[in-house]
């Protein structure tokens, strides 16, 4: 290759390089923009370095302050100002606690009095119910006894005519042999239920137990006396079941 040809090729490459640096719109070369971009990068780098140094200095100062605080003696601590409001706050708290205790005691006392009143009322109710139940039991037992006695009296009253026949048979001498044994067993069985006979010749006259069907006068008696018994009377326990029919002799 000849030297002239080499020079031409070098000049062509320079022209091509210069064309690349020219604005496509046919304007100016952006050399100034490139310079400004380089200056901005340099400024940014300086600011970054300055910021890093300031951060390192702040961290170092904080570390020194911490170390100094840890190494300082207890007596070297910063003196605090006295708090004059603390006693007043303590007094207020004490007053509030005392008032609260008083209110609580009053509420408890009122509640205790209410409970005592309620207890007294319930005790009286229990005593009243207990007394009513005891009276009820007594009344029931009494009514039950009266009902049983009335029922027994009705049954025995139905058997009294049979006993009257046995008495008449005994007076006439007909109550002998096995029939007499049966009569005695019947009288004994009825006696277990509380049946008792009364009305004998010579008994004093008792208008509450005797029914007088005849009156006589006699010098042999000093008071009204039963001189003849037409029908004997019967008692069921203490209750009169039937009065006796008698003839009464009065003194002359």
**pLDDT, tens digit (0-9, with 9 covering 90-100), for 197-238:** 999 998 999 999 999 999 888 888 889 999 999 999 999 988
Mean pLDDT over 110-126 rounds to 90
d(CA 118, CA 222): 72
* Mean pLDDT computed over every residue of the chain: 76
pLDDT band at 20 (very low <50, low <70, confident <90, very high): very low
Q: Does the structure show a pLDDT above 70 at 105?
A: yes
d(CA 159, CA 41): 147
Contacts of 187 (CB under 8 A, 6+ apart): 163, 166
CB 184 within 8 A of CB 220: no
d(CA 45, CA 41): 6
Dihedral (Cα; 198, 199, 203, 209), 10-degree rounding? 80
* Beta-bridge mates of residue 228: 247
Q: Does the structure show a pLDDT above 90 at 32?
A: no
pLDDT for the residue 24: 44
Give the lowest-confidence range in 88-97, 99-108, 170-179.
88-97
If one compares 51 and 142, the residue with the highest pLDDT of the two is 142
pLDDT band at 93 (very low <50, low <70, confident <90, very high): confident
Give the lowest-confidence range in 13-27, 160-174, 188-202.
13-27
Q: Which of 86-95, 97-106, 170-179, 226-235 has the highest mean pLDDT?
A: 226-235
Global pTM value: 0.48
d(CA 111, CA 71): 62
Contacts of 243 (CB under 8 A, 6+ apart): 209, 210, 211, 233
pLDDT for the residue 89: 60
* Domains of the chain (ranges, CATH numbers): 195-252 (2.30.22.10)
Neighbours of 250 (CB within 10 A): 14
The values of phi and psi at residue 88, to 5°, are -65, -40
d(CA 58, CA 37): 32
Q: Does the structure show a pLDDT above 70 at 27?
A: no
Contacts of 249 (CB under 8 A, 6+ apart): 215, 216, 217, 218, 220, 221, 224, 225, 227
pLDDT for the residue 42: 56
pLDDT per residue as tens digits for the range 135-167: 999 999 999 988 988 899 999 999 999 999 999
H-helix segments, 72-203 = 85-171, 178-191
């Amino acid at each position: 290759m000849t030297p002239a040809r080499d020079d031409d090729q070098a000049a062509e490459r320079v022209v091509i390089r210069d064309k690349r640096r020219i604005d496509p719109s046919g304007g100016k070369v952006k050399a100034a923009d490139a310079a400004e971009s380089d200056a901005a990068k340099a400024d940014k780098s300086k600011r970054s370095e300055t910021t890093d140094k300031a951060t390192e200095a702040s961290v170092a100062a904080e570390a020194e302050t911490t170390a100094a605080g840890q190494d300082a003696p207890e007596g070297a601590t910063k003196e605090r100002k006295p708090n004059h409001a603390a006693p007043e706050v303590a007094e207020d708290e004490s007053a509030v606690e005392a008032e609260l205790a008083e209110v609580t005691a009053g509420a408890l006392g009122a509640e205790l009095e209410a409970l005592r009143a309620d207890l007294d009322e319930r005790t009286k109710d229990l005593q009243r119910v207990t007394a009513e139940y005891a009276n009820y039991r007594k009344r029931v037992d009494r009514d039950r006894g009266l009902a049983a006695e009335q029922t027994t009296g009705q049954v025995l009253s139905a058997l009294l005519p049979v006993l009257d026949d046995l008495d008449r048979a005994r007076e006439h001498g007909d109550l002998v042999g096995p029939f007499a044994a049966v009569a005695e067993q019947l009288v004994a069985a009825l006696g277990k239920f509380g049946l008792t006979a009364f009305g004998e010749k010579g008994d004093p006259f008792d208008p509450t137990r005797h029914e007088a069907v005849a009156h006589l006068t006699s010098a042999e008696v000093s008071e009204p006396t039963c001189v003849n018994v037409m029908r004997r009377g019967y008692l069921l326990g203490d209750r009169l079941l039937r009065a006796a029919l008698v003839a009464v002799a009065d003194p002359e």
